[in-house]
Amino acid sequence: MAPFNATHFPSIDMAAVTRLTQAGRLSEAMALLQGRPVPEADAPKGAPRPILDMVAPADATGAWTAPGARVSGEAASEAPAQAAMPDVAQALRAMSERFTKAGGLAAAMPNLEGLGGGLGQGFGQGLGRTPAATPVPEGARFETRRFTGAHGARDYKVYVPSGRAGETLPVIVMLHGCTQSPDDFAAGTRMNALAEAQGFLVAYPAQPPSANAQKCWNWFNAGDQRREGGEPALIAGIARAVLAEFGGDGSRVYVAGLSAGGAAAAIMAATYPDLFAAVGVHSGLACGAARDMPSAFAAMNGGGAVQARGNGPAVPTIVFHGDGDRTVHPVNGERVIAQATPAEGLGTTVTKGTAPGGTRYTRTVRTDEADRAVLEHWLLHGTGHAWSGGSPDGSYTDPRGPDASAEMVRFFLAHALTENPTRH
């Protein structure tokens, strides 16, 4: 990708465009890009409000990246060269997400692909991209519901496999990443196909733009890290609603997520250990890793420290994290595991392997006295910020594997609330 050079477009104040976009003032930013001045009274004042945005890659299928984020370990020499995208690219991409939803950006800026030389390569390709329709086998259901509780409301989708004969089924709650949707996340993770094959329910809560401009779960807000409050109460309410409506098995409820959704999943394990029998965190952060915007950016870049679990029981946890992740530093995967580790010693087994798609990994398994895995950490060598083994039908996946969805389901179904000696 050719470097962006603002001197190519001397009539456009790209710094002002970036500030306006980060502040959510997209109409004014669009005016500047179209050569129309912003009235003086409307010009941005002071420092822009930061936005936690997992920036989409140029082709909208690879790993999310963040400007200036670090690359560590074996991935340093394998990381794509385009990882450090300039601030203006972030601004334009954020604006793309917002305007595309309204159907207006591509029409308003037909020459966007040429903007900034190499910057335009692939940016226009992602405009208007929607995930492939999630197939629903005959007899199965994939339906939208809405949960309303004391702390607000959220839409969610539920997959019910075909061939069900009234038996209670496990429930997996899937928390999407920034800019994603339930349909997109379902397509990318292929979790519905696993539910159909193995017989469980899947719930996909949806984070609306009204709660976060980029549809991120607000894992970095102190108010969204506590039991019976904020987003944890909404997600727990959705899980309970699925149990009630579809007759799910209350002892086998699990939660997993990607990136901001992974951080939210870790929060759910910390705040509702009596509801969730196990948790999966993909490219996420530990509960309490941040309490505000500055500490969120610090944690994403590897700052901070392991947060104590508190008084709650240890919830069996499986983690996937790429050592080439430039959005959420891979040390955060280690911190999720550390936070979930029970007080007493566990057996440890470390294996190395290569997935059929070519991704090398190191898998660390911690086992209890019954030789059952209660912690698993999959470190993916050379992988960035994307769902491992996912489908290109969804966004932000790395199809090279290993299959995070299948491994999480295997791990989850080995655990139930009533038979968990490590919960103390």
> What DSSP string runs through 239-256?
HHHHHHHHTEEEEEEEEE
**Does residue 89 carry a pLDDT above 50?**
no
Least confident span in 112-116, 225-229, 312-316, 384-388: 112-116
The confidence score (pLDDT) of residue 22 equals 52
For 165-176, how does the pLDDT look when each residue is reduced to its tens digit (9 = 90+)?
778 999 999 999
For 266-313, how does the pLDDT look when each residue is reduced to its tens digit (9 = 90+)?
999 999 999 999 999 999 999 999 998 899 999 999 998 777 766 668
The confidence score (pLDDT) of residue 164 equals 79
**Pairing relationship of beta strands 317-322 and 373-381 according to DSSP bridges:** parallel
What is the Cα–Cα distance from 234 to 350, expressed in whole angstroms? 37
The confidence score (pLDDT) of residue 364 equals 98
The confidence score (pLDDT) of residue 195 equals 97
47: CB partners within 8 A, 6+ apart = none
Q: Following DSSP, what letter does each residue of 178-231 receive, concatenated?
A: TT--HHHHHHHH-HHHHHHHHT-EEEEE---TTT-TT----TT-GGGSSTTSHH
Q: In the chain, what percentage of residues exceed pLDDT 90?
A: 58
The confidence score (pLDDT) of residue 296 equals 93
What is the Cα–Cα distance from 305 to 289, expressed in whole angstroms? 8
**Pairing relationship of beta strands 141-149 and 373-381 according to DSSP bridges:** unpaired
- For the chain, give me the number of helices (H) and strands (E)? 11, 12
What is the Cα–Cα distance from 148 to 293, expressed in whole angstroms? 28
The confidence score (pLDDT) of residue 306 equals 77
Q: Among 230, 224, 229, 250, which Cα is nearest to 239's? A: 250
The confidence score (pLDDT) of residue 256 equals 98
For 123-148, how does the pLDDT look when each residue is reduced to its tens digit (9 = 90+)?
222 223 455 567 798 889 999 999 99
The confidence score (pLDDT) of residue 342 equals 85
**Does residue 92 carry a pLDDT above 70?**
no
Least confident span in 124-128, 263-267, 353-357: 124-128
Please confirm, yes or no, whether 251 is among the known catalytic residues: no
| pLDDT band with cut points at 50, 70 and 90 for residue 80 | very low
Indicate which residue of 181, 259, 391, 405 is catalytic.
259
> Look-up: residue for tokens 């104590």?
308
**Does residue 13 carry a pLDDT above 90?**
no
Read off φ and ψ for residue 252, nearest 5 degrees: -130, 70
**Pairing relationship of beta strands 278-282 and 248-258 according to DSSP bridges:** parallel
Q: Among 95, 80, 90, which Cα is nearest to 326's? A: 80
Read off φ and ψ for residue 356, nearest 5 degrees: -55, -30
103: which 2 tokens?
Answer: 């159907």
What is the Cα–Cα distance from 15 to 282, expressed in whole angstroms? 34
The residue ranking higher by pLDDT, 71 or 27, is: 27
The confidence score (pLDDT) of residue 208 equals 96
**Does residue 415 carry a pLDDT above 50?**
yes
User: What CATH number is given for 141-419 in this structure?
Assistant: 3.40.50.1820
The confidence score (pLDDT) of residue 19 equals 57
Mean local confidence (pLDDT), 363-374:
93
382: CB partners within 8 A, 6+ apart = 74, 75, 78, 79, 322, 323, 324, 359, 360
The CA-based angle 78-83-88, given to 5 degrees, is 170
Counted residue by residue, the chain has a size of 424
Read off φ and ψ for residue 172, nearest 5 degrees: -115, 125
What is the Cα–Cα distance from 52 to 244, expressed in whole angstroms? 34
The residue ranking higher by pLDDT, 313 or 151, is: 151
For 177-217, how does the pLDDT look when each residue is reduced to its tens digit (9 = 90+)?
999 999 999 999 999 999 999 999 999 999 999 999 999 99
| pLDDT band with cut points at 50, 70 and 90 for residue 251 | very high
What is the Cα–Cα distance from 146 to 206, expressed in whole angstroms? 10
**Does residue 374 carry a pLDDT above 60?**
yes
Q: Per-domain residue ranges for the chain?
A: 10-126, 141-419
The confidence score (pLDDT) of residue 35 equals 56
| pLDDT band with cut points at 50, 70 and 90 for residue 16 | low
**Does residue 381 carry a pLDDT above 50?**
yes
**Does residue 262 carry a pLDDT above 70?**
yes
**Does residue 117 carry a pLDDT above 70?**
no
**Mean confidence (pLDDT) of the chain:** 77
The confidence score (pLDDT) of residue 62 equals 42
The residue ranking higher by pLDDT, 74 or 172, is: 172
The confidence score (pLDDT) of residue 134 equals 73
